[in-house]
């Protein structure tokens, strides 16, 4: 078996691995690059070559794992794309939304560059079109957890709950019914005891492991319960008369924040302030969640059985149209405004940030990982001014990072996951993290667990 690392190597995004065994060629994930330093790779030929690939195994729907699938299909891939049923529905939403955003961005850049008399660094066309998305969706084949899928050439794959987002999976790839090797691709490992989703699956054995290390060099800071942090931020911002701007990922993070706000409102701990979810995508995702309740954890089911909704409360308004979104920037008085994207790289949150980030009475509440080079990371690092929509904006708002909401396991969580293995794997490959995070975690597992841990290089092929 050959394993080639084609993305998320010494960086966070662009997840993609190529496996070849018994004459069969597959990809695990085919994600988009989102860090500014690696955007060029999105324009390179799709990995494969696409026409020679037999299948794609998709760990979950996030664009850094699924976002290059339409290019793969456009360039000739004709095999199945296996994923869980929730992932299939979420991929449908995300890829359609991404195609629309790319078309709008490309038109905006062409107009701006013509006005400025210059050409941009990248082609002024979308990475993929809606037609590419439609052809990609036709290739999706939903599979259940814990039931092996027989591939050709003696390969089989089994999906297991990763606890990261609804429908996320770890994939155990077996060659020769496991007698000749078991490779586990962790995908994104979730945290234990998070709302809505179940805890991540652990394994007793594996020959090889490809493990994410997004938080491999640190543990999540415990600044009290998530709801206590939200209550404090909203209360003091409302007292100042400001806006709480919450950049959210449409999948999982938006639903988690609504879940916590709902519980606070029910307990009488949330100030009387209007709450807006300015994300049609997040509203659509919430409907997908409701359609896949069998994937929920016990806590979410307790709310449902008690007659409460985990995804709504009185005082929550869903903002659909662009005109409604624009009117929020003229809202007089305090408000909580949630909008995508979670790393502030695109979407409606950028318009709200442009309007309110310079106001000291307001707060920007960051709710998840901010990748290097993103606007969210620049805000989190405390820069005095940031570029939004081509203009530098002074940062005067209070900046807060909400602790405990990450969809990723932290350093201790990753160690907990590895400790479930009764024997060391032959090799542990660390991916999906900045180099500092991966190298720090590699040292830690060598010292504490005695595992052989490696950080592969981009394009590197290893024999298993």
Q: Are strands 169-175 and 243-247 parallel, antiparallel or unpaired?
A: unpaired
Both tokens of 116, joined, read: 């400025």
Same domain flag for 190 and 310: no
- The domain that holds 331 is classified in CATH as 3.40.50.10890
pLDDT > 90 fraction of the chain, expressed in percent and rounded: 69
Q: Which of 362, 381, 401 is the last residue of a domain?
A: 401
Q: What is the mean pLDDT of residues 10-22?
A: 94
The tens digit of pLDDT for each residue in 50-88 reads 999 999 999 999 999 999 999 999 999 999 999 999 999
pLDDT digits (tens, 9 = 90+) for 196-252: 899 999 999 999 999 999 999 999 876 568 899 999 999 999 999 999 999 998 888
Cβ contact 158:59 at 8 Å: no
Residue 461 CA, chain-centre distance (Å), reads 26
Q: What pTM value is reported for the model? A: 0.85
Full DSSP string of 318-382: E--SHHHHHHHTT--S-EEEEES-TTSSSSTHHHHHHHHTT-TT-EEEE-S---TTSHHHHHHTT
CA max distance for the chain:
66
**Given this model, what pLDDT does residue 171 score?**
98
Higher-pLDDT residue of 118 and 46 is 46
pLDDT category, 134, cuts 50, 70, 90? Answer: very high
Map residue 67 onto helix, strand or coil. coil
- Residue 442 has a pLDDT of 97
pLDDT at 118: 75
pLDDT of residue 14: 95
CA-nearest of 231, 250, 285, 277 to 368 is 250
Q: Are residues 31 and 168 in the same domain?
A: yes
Average pLDDT over residues 313-324: 89
SS3 of the chain: helix, strand, coil, percent, to 5:
35, 20, 45
Burial state string for 126-163 with b = 16 or more CB within 10 A and e = fewer than 16: bbbeeebbebbbebbeebebeeebebeebbbbbbbbbb
Give yes or no: residues 32 and 72 share one domain.
yes
Pair (30, 118) in one structural domain: yes
What is the secondary structure of 14-26 as a DSSP string? ---EEEEETTEEE
Cα(196)–Cα(168) distance, integer angstroms: 13
The reply to whether 152 and 40 lie within a common domain is yes
271 and 316 fall within a common domain: yes
Q: Is 316 in a helix, a strand, or coil?
A: strand
> What pLDDT does 369 receive?
79
Provide the pLDDT for residue 35: 82
What count of other Cβ atoms lies within 10 Å of the Cβ of residue 248? 28
Judge contact between 265 and 313, C-beta under 8 A.
Answer: yes
The pLDDT of residue 99 is above 80: yes
Which residue among 401, 432, 455 closes a domain? Answer: 401
Q: Does 199 share its domain with 245? A: no
Give the CA radius of gyration of the chain.
Answer: 22
CATH of the domain at 89: 3.60.15.10
Average pLDDT over residues 432-437: 93
Residue 39 has pLDDT above 90, yes or no: no
| Distance of alpha carbon 53 from the chain centroid | 25
Q: What does the pLDDT read at residue 224?
A: 65
Question: d(Cα 115, Cα 109) in Å, to the nearest integer?
Answer: 10
Give the model's pLDDT for residue 81. 98
pLDDT in the model for residue 104: 81
> Is 172 found in the same domain as 117?
yes
**pLDDT bracket for residue 105 (50, 70, 90):** confident
**Closest Cα to residue 212, out of 409, 457, 27, 446?**
409
- Within 10 angstroms of residue 87's Cβ, the number of other Cβ atoms is 31
Least confidently predicted of 164-178, 237-251, 301-315, 380-394: 301-315
The residue from 380, 401, 422 where one domain ends is 401
What SS3 class is residue 119? coil
So what's the pLDDT on residue 63?
A: 92
Residues 299 and 326 in one domain: yes
The answer, yes or no, to whether residue 123 has pLDDT greater than 80, is: no
Lowest-pLDDT range of 20-34, 102-116, 167-181, 188-202 = 102-116
Question: Is it the case that residue 119 has pLDDT exceeding 80?
Answer: no
Q: Indicate if 163 and 306 belong to the same structural domain.
A: no
Residues 90 and 237 in one domain: no
CA distance linking residue 59 with residue 161, whole number of Å: 10
Say how many domains are in the chain: 2
Between residues 116 and 260, the one the model is more confident about: 260
Distance separating alpha carbons of residues 280 and 338, to the nearest angstrom: 11
Predicted confidence at residue 180, as pLDDT, reads 66
Range of the domain at 449: 2-218+408-463
pLDDT at 262: 85
DSSP one-letter code for 200: P
Q: pLDDT (tens digit, 9 = 90+) per residue, 159-189?
A: 999 999 999 999 999 987 656 689 999 999 9
Q: Is the pLDDT of residue 298 over 70?
A: yes
Query: pLDDT band at 277, cuts 50/70/90?
Result: very high
**Interval 386-402 mean pLDDT:** 94
- CA–CA distances in Å: residue 385 to residues 353, 364, 379: 12, 14, 8
Where does the pLDDT of residue 461 fall: very low under 50, low under 70, confident under 90, or very high at 90 and above? very high
Report the mean per-residue pLDDT for the chain: 91
As separate numbers, helices (DSSP H) first and strands (DSSP E) second, the chain gives 13, 22
Same domain, 269 and 285: yes
């Amino acid at each position: 078996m050959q394993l080639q690392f084609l993305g998320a190597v010494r960086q966070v995004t662009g997840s993609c691995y190529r496996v070849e065994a018994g004459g069969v060629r597959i990809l695990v994930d085919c994600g988009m690059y989102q860090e500014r330093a690696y955007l060029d790779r999105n324009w390179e030929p799709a990995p494969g070559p696409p026409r020679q690939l037999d299948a794609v195994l998709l760990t979950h729907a996030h664009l850094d794992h699924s976002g290059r699938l339409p290019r793969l299909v456009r360039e000739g891939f004709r095999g199945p794309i296996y994923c869980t049923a929730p992932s299939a529905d979420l991929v449908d939403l995300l890829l359609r939304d991404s195609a629309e955003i790319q078309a709008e961005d490309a038109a905006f850049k062409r107009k701006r560059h013509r006005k400025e008399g210059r050409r941009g660094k990248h082609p002024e066309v979308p990475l993929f079109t809606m037609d590419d998305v439609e052809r990609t969706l036709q290739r999706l084949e939903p599979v259940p957890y814990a039931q092996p899928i027989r591939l050709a050439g003696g390969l089989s794959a089994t999906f297991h709950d990763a606890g990261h987002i609804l429908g996320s999976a770890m994939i155990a790839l077996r060659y020769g019914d496991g007698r000749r090797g078991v490779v586990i691709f962790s995908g994104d490992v979730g945290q234990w005891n998070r709302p809505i989703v179940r805890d991540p699956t652990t394994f007793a054995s594996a020959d090889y492991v490809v493990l994410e290390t997004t938080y491999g060099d640190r543990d999540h800071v415990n600044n009290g319960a998530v709801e206590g942090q939200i209550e404090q931020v909203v209360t003091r911002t409302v007292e100042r008369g400001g806006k709480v701007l919450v950049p959210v990922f449409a999948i999982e993070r938006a639903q988690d924040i609504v879940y916590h706000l709902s519980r606070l409102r029910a307990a009488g701990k949330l100030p009387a302030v209007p709450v807006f979810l300015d994300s049609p995508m997040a509203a659509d995702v919430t409907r997908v969640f409701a359609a896949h309740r069998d994937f929920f954890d016990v806590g979410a089911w307790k709310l449902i059985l008690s007659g409460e909704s985990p995804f709504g409360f009185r005082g929550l308004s869903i903002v659909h149209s662009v005109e409604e979104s624009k009117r929020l920037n003229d809202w007089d008085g305090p408000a909580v405004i949630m909008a995508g994207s979670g790393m502030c790289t695109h979407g409606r949150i950028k318009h709200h940030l442009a309007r309110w980030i310079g106001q000291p009475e307001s707060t920007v509440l960051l709710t998840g990982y901010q990748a290097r080079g993103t606007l969210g990371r620049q805000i989190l690092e405390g820069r005095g001014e940031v570029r939004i929509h081509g203009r530098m904006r002074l940062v005067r708002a209070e900046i807060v990072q909400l602790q405990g909401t990450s969809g990723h396991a932290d350093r201790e969580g990753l160690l907990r996951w590895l400790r479930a293995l009764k024997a060391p794997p032959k090799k542990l490959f660390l991916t999906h993290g900045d180099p500092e995070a991966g190298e720090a975690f590699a040292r830690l597992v060598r010292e504490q667990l005695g595992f052989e841990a490696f950080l592969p290089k981009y394009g590197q092929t290893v024999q298993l």
